[in-house]
Amino acid sequence: MNKQQNNANIQQRGCETIKFLAEQGNRPRSMICDIDGIGVLATALRLHQNNDSVKAVAVGALEELSKDPRCAQLINKEMFDKDYVSNCDHGNSFSSLVSSLGDSFSKINS
């Protein structure tokens, strides 16, 4: 996913794979967090914020990862840390995405 960050199809498939692995339990969730899977998902969200398919799968993967308390802390740090958001020079659209991510979690569950 890192080598083809601009390819929406690869990002979607990668997010689907991460989500599938995260659904397998706490050990896979922990391993995903250990190898910076959250950062990969955050990058997919940031670069493909206008692609509803990528966004839905990435948010679903983050939601699944958040079931592990340590992963949930890492997600909060990566996605909701104000310093992280303000240091990203991606304009208001990325900030809006981060702000609305909580709403997206709710919509995915519905």
Residue 43 exposure: Cα atoms within 13 Å on the Cβ side? 15
User: What residue segments make up the domains of the chain, in order of their start?
Assistant: 8-109
- pLDDT, position 109: 41
Q: Is residue 77 scored above 60 in pLDDT?
A: yes
- 49, 109, 45, 55: which is closest to 78 by C-alpha? 45
Provide the whole-model pTM: 0.73
Measured between alpha carbons, how far is residue 36 from residues 18, 31, 78 in Å?
Answer: 11, 9, 10
pLDDT digits (tens, 9 = 90+) for 80-104: 764 444 444 444 444 455 555 555 4
Quote helix, strand, coil % in the chain, to nearest 5. Answer: 80, 0, 20
Contact 74, 33 (CB under 8 A): yes
Higher pLDDT, 91 or 67: 67
The single residue listed with the structure tokens 């995915």 is 108
pLDDT digits (tens, 9 = 90+) for 32-56: 999 999 999 999 998 998 999 999 9
Q: Is residue 22 scored above 80 in pLDDT?
A: yes
- 37, 38, 51: which is closest to 93 by C-alpha? 51
